Chains A and B, each alone.
Chain A
Amino acid sequence: MKGNLLYLIAFALIVIFVAEMIGFQMLPIGGFTIGLLPLVFAIIITMVLGLKIFRKGFWKKVYSEGNINFSSKYLIFIMLPLMARYGADVAPHIREILSIGWVFIIQELGNLGTVLIGLPIAIMLGLRREAIGATLGIGREGELAYISEKYTLESKEGRGVLSIYIIGTLFGAIFFSVFAPILMDLGIQVEALAMASGVGSGSMMSAASATLVATVPDMESTILAYASASQLLTSFLGTFTMVFLAAPLQQFMYKLMVRGEE
């Protein structure tokens, strides 16, 4: 077990080395530019090498059950220094952030976009009760807890939220890091995108703000300050937005859209 952990650390060092050597890549696709950060390469390399078909011989020592469990159990602790860094980013900007505090609060309501945009699409695709679980939010721990308490995770609603949770865990960070610069191309201010990065998941928020930093390095301190302030606010207000706004709105829209079906 101890020995295998050394394999894991050595493997992590190699992955980081390779990912950093590839470096930040800007890819123009059509009229847009997407940015690929070392963190995207790191997650892709580790995910692909972790596929069951590769897990033989030596790889089995790297991707041992113990090591995979270690990574998922302690991921949150590995993430803590990042969260500590965010405090230092917010501090110098605290006055500015408080002076436009209401903008931060207003943009929290944007999280209702999961219901407003996601639910009609889900209904159109023929999903019904799964759609409740799948569109309540981005399927992080808060929504998982709420749905499992209300419907249980074995229900259709539960399957919906679990699916979003899985997809988000696997692809959320990649999605946000690629998506953020596209909106910048569409003319949205980088400050607004930084605020929007506080979606409630640590790794997704880091990915979204990291691409913004890589794209506009001069604004690094503002981007990180806004993103972390918004993330903190989401951790405070997220549950309230979900229970008192997203859930009732979702019920209302759901009944309207599936009227006469049942």
Chain B
Amino acid sequence: MATGMNKYVKYGLVLLLSIGLILFTQEIKLLKNPESTPVTAMTLYGLVTLWAFSMIGIFVSDLMQHVRVKFIRDFPILGWVSLTSLVFCLASDFFVQAVSAVDFLSITTPILTFAGISVANRLVDLRKTSWKIAIVAIFVFTGTYVGSALLAQLGLFLAGN
């Protein structure tokens, strides 16, 4: 990207690319399965809403860098965007309806496409890790997920759900 471009313009363009890919994915999903979430005017409003919430979240995150509490400064930008969206969606049901017209699974495929490309240079780093750590990794990931799932299951049981 051109240097010297305002960083918010840059973010705005990247987000535009992101929602564009989501729309593309949702269209392809429809091509494969006409029963999946249709692309309507609401979908377009939903995509614009997602774009706007993301931008606001970025601004909020930048503003929070001036707060003295380290814990707030460290709160990830991803979290600020979710919180921004939550606040707006609690305020108006319109946002909920618009965003729901965007197919969830269509949002995930483009992200993982870029995630795959972004690690292209890191595959060689695998050589630096050992098979022992790889085995440990399986148990570490299993540990956090199963641990949380079992406690959640117990909690839901006690809560009577």
Contacts and interface: CB of A to CB of B under 8 A. Distances in A.
Interface of A: 1-2, 5, 8-9, 11-13, 15-17, 19-21, 23, 37-40, 42-47, 50-52, 63, 67-68, 70-72, 74-88, 90-92, 94, 100, 102-104, 106-118, 121-122, 125-127, 130-131, 134-135, 137-139, 141, 159-160, 162-164, 166-173, 175-176, 179-180, 183, 188-189, 191-193, 195-199, 202-203, 206-208, 210, 213-214, 220-221, 224, 228, 230-232, 235-236, 239
Contacts of A169: 119, 122
A235 B111 contact: no
B161 to A, nearest CB: 7
B142 interface: yes
B32 A21 contact: yes
A118 B112 contact: no
Interface of B: 1-2, 11, 14-15, 17-19, 21-22, 24-25, 28-29, 32-33, 47, 49-51, 53-54, 57-58, 71, 74-79, 81-90, 95-96, 99-100, 102, 104-105, 107-126, 128-130, 132-156, 158-159, 161
B151 A80 contact: no
A213 B104 contact: yes
Nearest to B70: A239
A21 B28 CA distance: 8
Contacts of B120: 46-47, 50-51, 63, 68, 71
